[in-house]
Amino acid sequence: MSKITRISISVEEEILKKFDHFSEEHGFPTRSEAVKSIMREVLIEEEWTKGVYVAGTISLVYDHHKPGIVQKLLKTQHDFCSEIQCSQHIHLDHDNCMEIIVLRGTKERVREILKQLRQIKGLKHVVLTMTTTGKHLH
């Protein structure tokens, strides 16, 4: 377990009120947990900027009735089988499906699969959620 260090900061009262509202609205039990979460987000963003090996998910929504879309998605995913850890297919309704693809690899390869997926016509939504492998966050 990591050693806990206490810090103090000076902040304007209005900013603190807004931050407390944010923390409560987002379900953080304490200010400390909210601040730690924000600090981790910044460190993960930096990891993606400077790092080589990253993790993340790509979520996409599409109408599975569009001709060829499923085959194009599968082909693209097979082209990146070293980076794709797993995927999940969800039936949203009679026409629409969602895929969640979990990735781990170099940031260049992860961004390349995102780019190739975005080029598939008929996708309604494609989004990358960057996260961390956890190696650099303790």
Q: Tell me the per-residue pLDDT of 87-102, one tens digit each, with 9 for 90 and over.
A: 999 999 999 999 999 9
Distance of CA 61 to the CA centre of its chain: 15
Q: Tell me, what's the pLDDT at 138?
A: 58
Single pTM value for the model = 0.75
3-state SS class at 97 = strand
- Classify residue 6 by its DSSP letter: -
Going by C-alpha positions, the residue among 116, 54, 36, 32 that lies closest to residue 79 is 116
- How buried is 70 (Cβ within 10 angstroms: 0-12 exposed, 13-18 middle, 19+ buried)? middle
pLDDT, tens digit, 9 for 90 and up, residues 29-61: 999 999 988 988 888 777 777 767 889 999 999
Between 66 and 135, name the one with better pLDDT. Answer: 66
